[in-house]
């Protein structure tokens, strides 16, 4: 069979071709090499090949978001929506109908299968790195934290149902499991692998979100000088460390249900030279260990979606109780599903809820947060709304705010802020 | 302290919560996952090869330690990243083509065109 491809007639030949420098085939728009990730004192050691594995996974996630996910939108417009409308003689009534229709389409099926598989591979890759050096990591963290008063664990603490029911974002063991006493391999895995999940969008210390929040507060509330800050659902502290750095004279309390996160978080913060955070184990829907009116600022970053319908009103009420008059609460989350958000986008944003073990994600994003804040006692005219995008070193990392090429629904490093100032 | 943790057994642990399957045949999805894992390992091998080549060019020799210590410059990292982008695009070509087929809409097959070309009636 003849090969029908011939060089174009305009192709330079002979001497003319030699004079031209070989042009770069295309401008590079992929993630940076993993070796730009910042290494704090308890960061796991990684071999050449382990780094290469994270590099591949970061690229896969970018490829899925930039080159395959748009195909789902195209399939939706070209065949999924028309087929539904033809059959049902009406348009979709809600995002769940859209999602169910999507699940029948091969483009969605392959994108989803690849996305889930990539997430599972990312977990395996990170777990291998941390588990093979578990002894070293665990003892290093133990030495740095065991006699430190800034680590307050609650012996016999019972995990809330919202953390215990399912392993969030396919992370085996979730935030709380200890494979051996004093185990920190879970948080270490989270820490080293988030680069791959986000394609490098969160910056050197995965702190692009926290840095953005600190900058947003400084810009919007220049006179605000918080003395005491509470971070709820702090995880390993990558979002609260930037607040501690921005307000070095403030006393910061970071609460989470997972003891491994808190241990690792304290060691990590200390090794980064951050010494004004106390890590406390607790259930943030009942923070009765703290007095009323004792915090200037209560912060949650990408946390509410990992709670539940039952606990969220309690969390909002607790923040209201704990704030000093004129204090502020800020919750950073992916955008809510408002009436002006297309049902297709809502359905795509729900993917993590149903296929990446984030069960509350779907309901959480349909809540009228303003109404819930008011119900918790915040005044309507004292509510705060805003938006932030990860702040990273633009020389090295991709900037979410400028990235118009991909919309990795639910995972883009750009968030909404909902909050309130407590009336004095 | 000696740990009883076996990284090989524990790394690939299943997350709590029933796994969703996406493709029409779960066995196809199992094969896809195995292929995806191999695809990852080829990328790892390639990055190691690239490191060895660059070390040979730079130092004229290579050791295990120099491989582990190698850090690409930004330009080198971009060359390696560009290769990975190319590689993924090549392996996932069929998905790209599925996407293009949506854009094109209904197209005649070669078999149908053959019929047309074989028609002698005006």
pLDDT bracket for residue A9 (50, 70, 90) = very low
Residues contacting A308, CB < 8 A, separation 6+ = A161, A162, A360
Residues on chain B touching A26 (C-beta within 8 angstroms): 82
Of A59, A114, A396, the CB nearest to B84: A59
Tens-digit pLDDT profile for residues A251-279: 999 999 999 999 999 999 999 999 999 99
**Beta carbons within 8 Å of A221's beta carbon, 6+ residues apart:** A328
- Predicted local distance difference test score (pLDDT) of residue A395: 82
What's the mean pLDDT in A333-342?
Answer: 94
Contact list in A for residue B71 (CB cut-off 8 A) is: 33, 35
- Residue A114, C-beta contacts closer than 8 angstroms, at least 6 positions apart: A60, A64, A68, B32, B36, B92, B95
CB contact (8 A) between residue B37 and residue A121: yes
Query: Hey, which residues 349-368 in chain A have their CB within 8 Å of chain B?
Result: 354-355, 357
Closest residue in B to A27 (Cα) is B82
Across residues B55-78, what is the average pLDDT? 97
pLDDT, one tens digit per residue, over A18-61 is 455 566 678 999 999 999 999 999 999 999 999 999 999 999 99
Residue in the structure block whose two tokens are 């660059």: B54
Which tokens in the block code for residue B48? 């190691």
Please give the interface size between A and B, counted as residue pairs whose CB atoms are below 8 Å apart. Answer: 173
Chain A residues closer than 8 Å to B23 by CB = 109-110, 113
Report the distance separating Cα A194 and Cα A126, nearest Å: 9
% of chain A with per-residue pLDDT over 70: 93
Helix ranges restricted to H, A226-286: 241-246, 259-271
Question: Other C-beta atoms within 10 Å of A148: how many?
Answer: 15
What confidence category does residue B67 fall into, taking pLDDT thresholds of 50, 70 and 90?
very high
Exposed, middle or buried: residue A237 (CB in 10 Å: 0-12, 13-18, 19+)?
buried
For chain A, count helices (H), then strands (E). 17, 8
pLDDT surpasses 70 at A368? yes
Nearest CA to A97 out of A73, A112, A80 is that of A80
Find the range with the poorest average confidence among A27-41, A280-294, A409-423, B100-114: A409-423
Interchain proximity A173–B68, CB inside 8 Å: no
A99 has pLDDT over 80? yes
Residue A30 sits at the chain B interface (C-beta within 8 Å): yes
Distance CA A296, CA A290 (A): 13
3-state secondary structure at position A326: strand
Long-range contacts from A312-315, C-beta under 8 angstroms, 24+ separation: A312/A285, A312/A364, A312/A367, A312/A372, A313/A372, A313/A375, A313/A376, A314/A285, A314/A286, A315/A232, A315/A284, A315/A285
Other CB atoms within 10 Å distance of the CB of residue B59: 10
Q: How far apart are CA A140 and CA A280, in angstroms?
A: 20
User: Percent of chain B beyond pLDDT 90?
Assistant: 93
Which residue in chain B has the smallest CA separation from A352?
A: B20
With CA atoms as reference, the chain A residue closest to B75 would be A28
pLDDT at A16 over 60: no
Cα separation, B8 vs A253, in Å, equals 37
Choose the closest CB to A172 out of B6, B14, B37: B14
* pLDDT, tens digit (0-9, with 9 covering 90-100), for A163-221: 899 999 999 999 999 999 999 999 999 999 999 998 888 989 999 999 999 999 999 99
Nearest to A109 among B17, B22, B68 (CB): B22
pLDDT of amino acid A406: 63
Residue at token pair 């941390």: A130
B40 chain-A contacts, CB cut-off 8 A: 53, 56-57, 60, 121, 125
So what's the pLDDT on residue A412? Answer: 85
Mean pLDDT, rounded, for A127-150: 97
Q: How far is CA B64 from CA A49, A125, B54, in A?
A: 12, 21, 14
A166 contacts on B by Cβ (under 8 Å) = 15-17
Burial of B46 (0-12, 13-18, 19+ CB in 10 A): middle
Rg of chain B taking only CA atoms, in angstroms: 24
Respond yes or no on whether ipTM tops 0.90: yes
CA distance A417 to A373: 13
Nearest chain A CA: its distance from B120 CA (Å): 25
Indicate the average pLDDT of chain B: 95
Indicate if the pLDDT at residue A12 is higher than 80. no
Per-chain mean pLDDT for chain A: 92
Contact B98 A71 (CB under 8 A): yes
Domain boundaries, chain B: 24-103
Residue B39 has pLDDT above 90, yes or no: yes
- Domains along chain A? 38-424 (3.40.50.150)
Q: How confident is the model at residue A11 (pLDDT cuts 50, 70, 90)?
A: very low
| Residues of B (85-114) whose Cβ lies below 8 Å from A | 85, 88-89, 92, 95-96, 98-99, 102-103, 105
Residue A1 binned pLDDT confidence (cut-offs 50, 70, 90)? very low
pLDDT at A296: 98
| Residue bearing tokens 């919202």 | A162
* Predicted structure pTM score: 0.92
């Amino acid at each position: 069979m003849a090969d029908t491809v011939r060089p174009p007639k305009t192709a330079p030949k002979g001497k003319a071709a030699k004079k031209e420098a070989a042009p770069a085939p295309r401008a590079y728009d992929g993630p940076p090499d993993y070796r730009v990730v910042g290494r704090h004192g308890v960061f796991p050691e990684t071999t050449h090949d382990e780094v290469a594995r994270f590099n591949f996974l970061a690229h896969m996630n970018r490829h899925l978001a930039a080159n395959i996910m748009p195909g789902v939108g195209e399939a939706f417009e070209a065949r999924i929506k028309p087929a539904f409308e033809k059959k049902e003689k009406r348009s979709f009534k809600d995002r769940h109908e859209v999602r169910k229709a999507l699940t029948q389409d091969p483009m969605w099926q392959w994108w989803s299968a690849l996305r889930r598989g990539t997430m599972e591979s990312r977990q395996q890759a990170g777990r291998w790195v941390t588990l093979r050096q578990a002894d070293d990591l665990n003892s290093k963290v133990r030495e740095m934290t065991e006699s430190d008063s800034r680590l307050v664990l609650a012996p016999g603490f019972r995990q809330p149902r919202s953390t215990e029911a399912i392993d969030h974002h396919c992370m085996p063991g979730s935030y709380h499991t200890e494979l051996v006493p004093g185990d920190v391999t879970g948080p270490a895995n989270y820490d080293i692998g988030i680069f791959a999940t986000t394609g490098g969008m969160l910056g050197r210390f995965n702190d692009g979100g926290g840095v953005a929040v600190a900058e947003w507060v400084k810009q919007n509330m220049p006179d605000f000088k918080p003395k005491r800050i509470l971070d709820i659902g702090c995880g390993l502290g990558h979002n609260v460390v930037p607040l501690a750095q921005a307000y070095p004279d403030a006393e910061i309390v970071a609460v989470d249900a997972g003891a491994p996160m808190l241990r690792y978080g304290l060691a990590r913060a200390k090794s980064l030279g951050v010494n004004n955070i106390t890590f406390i184990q607790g259930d943030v829907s009942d923070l009765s260990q703290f007095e009323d009116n004792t915090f200037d600022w209560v912060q949650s970053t990408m946390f509410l979606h990992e709670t539940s319908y039952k606990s969220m009103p309690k969390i909002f009420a607790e923040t209201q109780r704990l704030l000093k008059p004129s204090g502020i609460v800020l919750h950073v989350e992916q955008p809510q599903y408002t009436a002006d958000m297309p049902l297709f986008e809502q359905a795509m944003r729900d993917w993590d809820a149903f296929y990446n073990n984030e069960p509350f994600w779907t309901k959480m994003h349909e809540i009228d947060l303003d109404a819930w804040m008011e119900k918790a006692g915040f005044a309507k005219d004292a509510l705060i709304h805003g938006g932030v995008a990860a702040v990273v070193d633009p020389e090295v990392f991709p900037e979410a705010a400028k990235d118009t090429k991909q919309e990795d629904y639910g995972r883009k490093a750009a968030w909404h802020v909902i909050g309130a100032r407590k009336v004095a | 302290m000696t740990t009883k943790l076996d990284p090989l057994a524990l790394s690939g642990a299943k997350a709590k919560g029933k796994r969703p399957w996406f493709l029409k045949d779960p066995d196809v999805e199992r094969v896809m996952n195995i292929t995806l894992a191999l695809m990852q390992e080829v990328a790892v091998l390639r990055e190691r090869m690239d490191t060895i080549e660059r070390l040979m060019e730079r130092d004229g020799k290579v050791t295990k330690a120099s491989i582990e210590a190698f850090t690409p410059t930004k330009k080198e990292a971009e060359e390696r990243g560009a290769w990975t982008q190319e590689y993924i695009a090549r392996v996932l070509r069929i998905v790209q083509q599925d996407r293009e087929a949506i854009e094109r809409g209904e197209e005649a097959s070669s078999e149908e065109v053959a019929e047309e070309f074989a028609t002698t009636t005006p």
